[in-house]
Amino acid sequence: MLEDIFQSPTTVSLFGVFVALLLLHLLYSSFSSQNRPEPPGPRPLPVLGNLFQVDLKTIHHSLFILSKKYGSVFQVRLGPKKVVVLAGYRTVKEALVNQAEAFRNIEITPLFHDINQGHGIILANGDSWKEMRRFALTTLKDFGMGRKMSEEIIIEECGYLIKEFEQFEGKAFSNTQVISYATSNVISALVFGKRFDYKDPFLNIMMERNYENIRLMSSASIQIYNVIPWIGPLLKNWRDFKKNIGNSLADIKKIIVDLKKTLDPEVCRCFVDAFLIHKKQLEDSENRNSHYHDNNLLYSVMNLFGAGTETTATTLKWGLLYLVKFPHIQDRVQEELSRVVGSRQVRIEDRKNLPYTDAVIHEIQRVANVAPVLPHTTTKDVTLQGYFLKEGTTVLLLLLSVLSDESEWESPHSFNPSHFLDDEGKFIRRDAFMPFSTGPRACLGESLARMELFLFFASLLQHFRFTLPPGVSEDELDLKPVEGFTLGPKPQQLCAVQRQ
């Protein structure tokens, strides 16, 4: 029968046309690929891709090494998934600033969807994300984010943190938890209108879950889940992660319910109140297509609470370790603080007169490199440095390579506060300093975080000399990070000796 079909003149003609069109398509595709080349990269294996060339637990480090061989724009395959990596200051800036619209979206991995379900401020895209980010920025500024009001909140929390350190009377202790409690209370004051005692179960449990989830997010099994989502229920790490998220959401929901019960539209106490009041106004005007619903409130609060705590606390922990590692730098900071501020409470307005202190804080952020890689996705077809990236391409922005770019920093792999000082000792800004990222996805809490880092850091150094426990030398200090979604230091004991 098949032979009969091909003996028909009409069928033969149609088949000939089909073959001709197929050949034209192949020729066009070949020609197009030559004119729109894809980025280079290591040769992938079938199905597995480049998984044997990338350590999933330290993927930022593996990609940084590959960038030395393949350049500032290259691609790898994580299993069957193609990922384009952008490395170096100029390339990352070109994507996030010069072509911001094309690289605006964050990649919603299966794990990110598990966290936010498409809602909230950080792990979302589209109109909902735009509106939630706009509302959060406006509302938090109204409550003093980065201004005098938040300065008073931070200074008050500095007092609690100093008292906590004083209790140890110069003996060795681990500061890992208490610093997280302090930074968490700053964002809690803005979001919930209250701070928590350092022994409060809510605060303790939330910090414990956050720390555990950051660790789980970097595990190899979770990275594989992001490539092969159906295996999730088979993985203990995934089940533990989901349980932690569910419990944290339940605890936050209880606080929101309590705030709802005492809500007074005439007295806006915090971010939650502002959201609820705006939501009620839209409902009264019969707005049926609003993004102001309970899920966006719940997930936005969780985003603010988590992001507003983790990176700032982690940077402060790194800061104390670097000062212990380099005591001569601690000496210079404390000399400057004593000369300029004396024994009074340090204020934000003092920063302009404390260039060395400010330079040290910036260098801590640069070297600590708390968020080494950011996952984005292209919103449309785009050409970057001559390479073609299709709409929907996963793009990893390697901030590690920006903060250690050898063409931008004089000694990128050393701790050197002079990176931020001119020949006269005055503070200078550096374009390649972007720990908060840049463009539409830049950290919305940057102004608050900068204020916190300065006030906490300077206040602690006014009151304490930080040293290693007796019998431990600077050479024994372990500065290798704990691998996670963010890079934090290993828990280590320090001594906080009160200054005279």
Query: Which two structure tokens, joined as six digits, stand for 356?
Result: 């060395």
- CA dist 307 and 374 (Å) reads 14
H or E element, residue 81: strand 81-87
Q: How far is Cα of residue 381 from the mean position of the Cα atoms in its chain?
A: 26
For residue 208, the one-letter residue type is: E
* DSSP characters over 84-120: EEEESHHHHHIIIIITTTTT-EEP--HHHHHHHTT-S
Residue 268 assigned ligand-binding role: no
CA distances from 183 to 186, 190, 204, 311 (A): 5, 12, 13, 9
Q: Which two tokens stand for residue 2?
A: 């098949």
Q: Are 196 and 202 in contact (CB under 8 A)?
A: yes
Distances (CA, A) of 474 to 322, 325, 415, 420, 471: 10, 5, 14, 24, 10
Q: Is the dihedral of CA 149, 155, 161, 167 positive or negative?
A: negative
Question: Please, are residues 429 and 465 in contact by the beta-carbon 8 Å criterion?
Answer: no
Separation CA 380–CA 391 (nearest Å): 4
Residues 124, 134 contacting (CB under 8 angstroms)? no
Q: Is 418 left (phi over 0), alpha (psi -120 to 50) or beta?
A: alpha
Q: Are residues 291 and 282 in contact, defined by beta-carbon separation less than 8 angstroms?
A: no
* Token code pair at residue 265: 């539209």
Q: How far apart are CA 374 and CA 107, in angstroms?
A: 9
- How far apart are the C-alpha atoms of 406 and 135, rounded to whole Å? 39
What are the structure tokens assigned to 411, written together? 């000694």
The rounded radius of gyration (Å) of the Cα atoms in the chain is 26
Give the count of beta carbons closer than 10 Å to the beta carbon of residue 94.
18
Output the six-digit token pair for 355: 């260039």
Query: What does the alpha-carbon distance between residue 138 and residue 145 come to, in Å, rounded to a whole number?
Result: 9
Strands 373-377 and 105-106: antiparallel
Q: Point out the annotated binding site for heme.
A: 443
Q: Point out the annotated binding site.
A: 443
